[in-house]
Amino acid sequence: MASCESKSCADCEAVVTRICDSYGSCRGSLIPILHDIQREMGYISSDAMEIVAERLGVTSAQVHSTATFYTLFYTKPQGKNIVRLCDSPPCHIEGSRAVREAISKELGISEGETTEDMNFTFEVVSCMGLCGVAPAIMVNDDVYGNVTPESVAGILNKYREAK
Amino acid sequence: MAFYRAHVLVDTGTPAVLKGALAVKSALIEELKRRGLDKEIKVVETGDLGLHNAGCGVVIYPEGVTYANVTTDFVPLIVEEHLLKGRPVEKLLYKEDQPSVVTAAESPRCNEMRVILKNIGVIDPNSIDEYIAHGGYEGLVKALTTMTPDQVINEVKASQLKGRGGAGFPTGLKWEFTAKAAGSDKAIVCNADEGEPGNFKDRLILEGDPHQIIEGMVIAAYAVGANEGYIYIRGEYHQSVEHTEKALKAAREMGFLGKNILDTGLDFDISIFKGAGAYICGEETALLESLEGKRGESRMKPPFPPTYGLRGMPTVVNNVETFAAIPHILAKGAEWYCSIGTGQSKGTKIFSPCGDVLYPGVYEVPFGITLREIIYNMAGGIKSGKDLKAVLMGGPSGVMVGKDALDRKLCAEDLNPGAGALIVLDEDKCIVDLMQNIAQFFYHESCGQCTPCREGCKRMLEVFNWWTAGAGSEDDIALLEQLATTMSLTSKCGLGQFAGVAFKSSLPLFMDEYRAHLKDKVCPTGVCSMDKVLEEVK
């Protein structure tokens, strides 16, 4: 087995096995298992996918096809904090474009990229159901609404202190 | 049950949470504890109070006094003055002369008809006792103890309730097909994968009154004979998952879920399934695929879920708002429900006006209300004070209407409201820019399974990229129209079928604006760059 990029192989195997044990072995458990793996390990490595495939009795290609389909799953290491900006129509018409530029400038990266210190990943995503407070962003699980280019730095700074 | 002399309700709807409502709640609890009042005064979280632009709202009962713009700094004052000494804090009262605050009499909420949202902002969503005290689980008890499953289906059919997720299929009929389908194992699935931009009503129901959905699902399970239930909630809706999980636990403890519910022999339980970020999973067969652990790719239809659904079982898939209407229909009867609305659209509908309106939010009204009433009387009109330019009905997959549609009625026989989103644009917004944004959305969200949608969405985006970059030609219009028609005729599911609807409906309304971009290479509103370097869409 190829070595894991984030944790040692033995660690990865123990974590994934423990998570798999807490679910049934049917294919329907796959998405909840992937959610849990990502929460604990930060992303879903190909080694993790192989273990899950074995446990659920499906091919690793099937696990891979599911894991790469959904935007909330990552198959590569991500920044410690994930900044998601909505650019669907309600946020778009309320000024998400300017917010996007402000975030890029503040973090020094474009959408889809991760800062060198691995503290932030910036993503532009589809509607998060926060249209009443557009434009909206989420940093990890925290929601921010009525965001302006001026308020971006203050929001992001909260996640810098935690370093 | 403990007795409290006063209840302090803290608005924890999303707008209030953004203004620090959770910190206010914790501060209230701490302050009451510090003063030894925690055994006599209870702090309760409640849904959106609808105090537009008035920060965090707090209501104190039994007096019914409402405070606006409350911050943690004011908490000691409220506790000291109001809760200890019984003197309402004048300066924090929610009243007329306060700027940016609507008065109670002018409140846009006055014109609402709250059936599904009646508990929101009134009860603690995490308390099953409060739900029951406000008439909750009455419909379930009535259905399970005094009616046969057939009678329940007939009552839902008689109510003429139609699916509230956008497609509008008659709910009673869907249940009847599922009940009659062969097979002993059946399933009930609640579609809470609210992903259509502009819609945020299901979030409010899940966060503010989750028991209604559980009650509706148990009634459905009884009617069709199902034992398995799932609520498929978007992965981004953390608070919805949290509140629904608590509600499920409480319902189980009360015996409304689990084995032999109310001694009827019905075994039924519900699990929450967290989505992982895919718009397509709002399509019912893609949602079922996702529940099975697969990619969210829609299935060939027929067979439809009532005959072949989750893991092949006959399955009812309904939207959150649809399930939430069920308890009310059973408790008050189909006749009452039919007395609300229009000839073809019975009952109430939840709308979510957003975009350039003064008070974006969630409003429940009877079908048949005009677009003008919602946008101008409830949502406060256009926030910039400018003219209304267009409304995108239901979201990016809906039709666009112009100013002349303001007096049309929102119902099946006139202007179909879809899932309820009303994305409002003022005259400063560019239609071509919006269409480019919509094309970007569908390009990103197409699952890639069928050719018309995968390739069509890509080409559509490419053409709009030309247009906003000043590189379009007038001939492109006919080309794009043809593409949109082909996609609607040949795509496998609704995503591709509806991806070109907004564009096609906008053409006759804004032909001049399109021509300005294509012929004169000018964006009349100045939104489009018109000189961008083009990149190929890959």
- Whether B200 and chain A come into contact, CB under 8 Å, resolves to yes
Tell me which residue has tokens 């997720």.
Answer: B165
- Whether B421 and chain A come into contact, CB under 8 Å, resolves to yes
Q: Please give the CATH architecture assigned to the domain spanning B128-337.
A: 3-Layer(aba) Sandwich (3.40)
Q: Is the ipTM of this complex over 0.85?
A: yes
Q: What average pLDDT does this structure show over A129-134?
A: 91
Tell me which residue has tokens 């609300």.
Answer: B340
Q: Residue B149 is inside which H or E element, if any?
A: helix B149-159
Closest alpha carbon within chain B to A31: B293
Tell me which residue has tokens 């026989």.
Answer: B413
- Whether A82 and chain B come into contact, CB under 8 Å, resolves to no
Residue B248, pLDDT above cutoff 70: yes
Burial A19-46 (b: 16+ CB within 10 A, else e): bbeebeeebbbbbbbbbbbbeebbbbbb
Cβ–Cβ gap B274/A35 under 8 Å: yes
Give the tens place of pLDDT for each residue, B434-481: 999 999 999 999 999 999 999 999 999 999 999 999 999 999 999 999
pLDDT of residue B105: 36
Burial-class residue B3 by CB neighbours within 10 Å (0-12, 13-18, 19+).
exposed
CB contacts, 8 Å: A138 with chain B: 236
Q: What average pLDDT does this structure show over B243-262?
A: 96
Nearest to B296 among A29, A69, A93 (CB): A69
In angstroms, what CA-CA distances link A156 with A42, A121, B224, B283? 20, 12, 50, 35
Average pLDDT for chain A? 91
Give the tens place of pLDDT for each residue, B213-229: 999 999 999 999 999 99
Q: How far apart are the C-alpha atoms of B266 and A146, rounded to whole Å?
A: 47
DSSP string, B387-406: -EEEEEESSTTS-EEEGGGT
pLDDT of residue B87: 82
- Whether A154 and chain B come into contact, CB under 8 Å, resolves to no
User: pLDDT confidence of B88, banded at 50, 70, 90?
Assistant: confident
User: pLDDT confidence of B100, banded at 50, 70, 90?
Assistant: very low
- Whether B276 and chain A come into contact, CB under 8 Å, resolves to yes
CB contacts, 8 Å: B276 with chain A: 31, 34-35, 70-73
DSSP string, B217-252: HHHHHHHHT--EEEEEE-TT-HHHHHHHHHHHHHHH
pLDDT of residue B266: 96
- Whether B234 and chain A come into contact, CB under 8 Å, resolves to yes
Burial-class residue B348 by CB neighbours within 10 Å (0-12, 13-18, 19+).
buried
Provide the 10 A C-beta neighbour count for residue B513. Answer: 18
Tokens (6 digits) for A17: 């096995």
At the topology level, CATH places domain B342-426 in Ubiquitin-like (UB roll) (3.10.20)
Give the tens place of pLDDT for each residue, B295-337: 999 999 999 999 999 999 999 999 999 999 999 999 999 999 9
Q: What average pLDDT does this structure show over B356-384?
A: 93
Q: What average pLDDT does this structure show over B190-196?
A: 96
The shares of helix, strand and coil residues in chain A, as percent rounded to the nearest 5, are 45, 10, 45
Q: How far apart are the C-alpha atoms of B348 and B459, rounded to whole Å?
A: 39
Written out in words, the top-level CATH class of the domain with range A81-157 is: alpha beta
- Whether B194 and chain A come into contact, CB under 8 Å, resolves to yes
What sign results for the dihedral spanned by CA atoms B15, B17, B18, B19? positive
Domain borders along chain B are 6-106, 128-337, 342-426, 431-518
CB contacts, 8 Å: A88 with chain B: 197-198, 396, 437, 441
Provide the 10 A C-beta neighbour count for residue B372. Answer: 15
Q: Domain B6-106 carries which CATH code?
A: 3.40.30.10
Collapse the DSSP code of A1 into the 3-class scheme (helix H, G, I; strand E, B; otherwise coil) and give the result. Answer: coil
pLDDT of residue A3: 40
Cβ–Cβ gap A133/B18 under 8 Å: yes
Which of A84-98, B86-100, B263-277, B499-513 is least confident? B86-100
Pairing of strands A120-125, A142-144: unpaired
Cβ–Cβ gap A32/B17 under 8 Å: no
Q: What average pLDDT does this structure show over B407-431?
A: 95
What sign results for the dihedral spanned by CA atoms A36, A40, A46, A49? negative
Residue B192, pLDDT above cutoff 50: yes
Q: Does domain B431-518 match CATH 1.20.1440.230?
A: yes
Contact B360, B353 (CB under 8 A): yes
Nearest to A130 among B14, B274, B421 (CB): B14
Q: What average pLDDT does this structure show over B183-209?
A: 95
Residue A10, pLDDT above cutoff 90: no
Collapse the DSSP code of B366 into the 3-class scheme (helix H, G, I; strand E, B; otherwise coil) and give the result. Answer: strand
More confident residue, B14 or B291: B291
Q: How far apart are the C-alpha atoms of A25 and A21, rounded to whole Å?
A: 8
User: pLDDT confidence of B107, banded at 50, 70, 90?
Assistant: low
Residue B275, pLDDT above cutoff 70: yes
Residue B182, pLDDT above cutoff 80: yes
Q: In Å, how far is B333's CA from the nearest CA of chain A?
A: 32
Q: How far apart are the C-alpha atoms of B517 and B51, rounded to whole Å?
A: 41
pLDDT of residue B65: 83
pLDDT of residue B533: 64
Give the tens place of pLDDT for each residue, B117-159: 999 888 889 999 999 999 999 999 999 999 999 999 999 999 9
Percentage of residues of chain B with pLDDT beyond 70: 95
Collapse the DSSP code of B436 into the 3-class scheme (helix H, G, I; strand E, B; otherwise coil) and give the result. Answer: helix
Q: Which of residues 459-488 of B touch A (CB under 8 A)?
A: none
Residue B247, pLDDT above cutoff 90: yes
Q: How far apart are the C-alpha atoms of A59 and A50, rounded to whole Å?
A: 8
Interface test mutation site (partner A, options B289, B294, B434, max chain A beta carbons within 10 A): B294
Average pLDDT for chain B? 92
Q: In Å, how far is A145's CA from the nearest CA of chain B?
A: 7
Q: What average pLDDT does this structure show over B411-425?
A: 95
Domain borders along chain A are 9-67, 81-157
Q: How far apart are the C-alpha atoms of B366 and B381, rounded to whole Å?
A: 20
Phi, then psi, of B230 in degrees rounded to 5: -135, 140
Residue B63, pLDDT above cutoff 80: no
Percentage of residues of chain B with pLDDT beyond 90: 75
pLDDT of residue B122: 84
Cβ–Cβ gap B277/A70 under 8 Å: yes
Contact B245, B251 (CB under 8 A): no
- Whether A32 and chain B come into contact, CB under 8 Å, resolves to yes
Q: How far apart are the C-alpha atoms of B219 and B205, rounded to whole Å?
A: 18
Q: How far apart are the C-alpha atoms of A87 and B284, rounded to whole Å?
A: 25
Closest alpha carbon within chain B to A38: B276
Nearest to B14 among A27, A30, A133 (CB): A133
Contacts A–B by Cβ distance under 8 A = 145
- Whether B237 and chain A come into contact, CB under 8 Å, resolves to yes
Interface test mutation site (partner B, options A52, A84, A127, max chain B beta carbons within 10 A): A127
Burial B156-172 (b: 16+ CB within 10 A, else e): bbbbbbbbbbbebbebb
Q: Residue B285 contacts by C-beta under 8 Å, 6 or more apart in sequence?
A: B298, B299, B301, B305, B493
Nearest to A126 among B202, B296, B444 (CB): B444
- Whether B17 and chain A come into contact, CB under 8 Å, resolves to yes
pLDDT of residue A163: 47
User: pLDDT confidence of B97, banded at 50, 70, 90?
Assistant: very low
Give the tens place of pLDDT for each residue, A98-121: 999 999 999 999 999 999 999 999
Q: In Å, how far is A8's CA from the nearest CA of chain B?
A: 27
What sign results for the dihedral spanned by CA atoms B195, B197, B201, B203? positive
Which residue, among B346, B106, B329, B109, has the nearest Cα to B215 in the 3D structure?
Answer: B329
Contact B358, B381 (CB under 8 A): yes
State which CATH number among 1.10.10, 1.10.3470, 1.20.1260, 3.30.300 fits the domain covering A9-67: 1.10.10
Percentage of residues of chain A with pLDDT beyond 70: 93
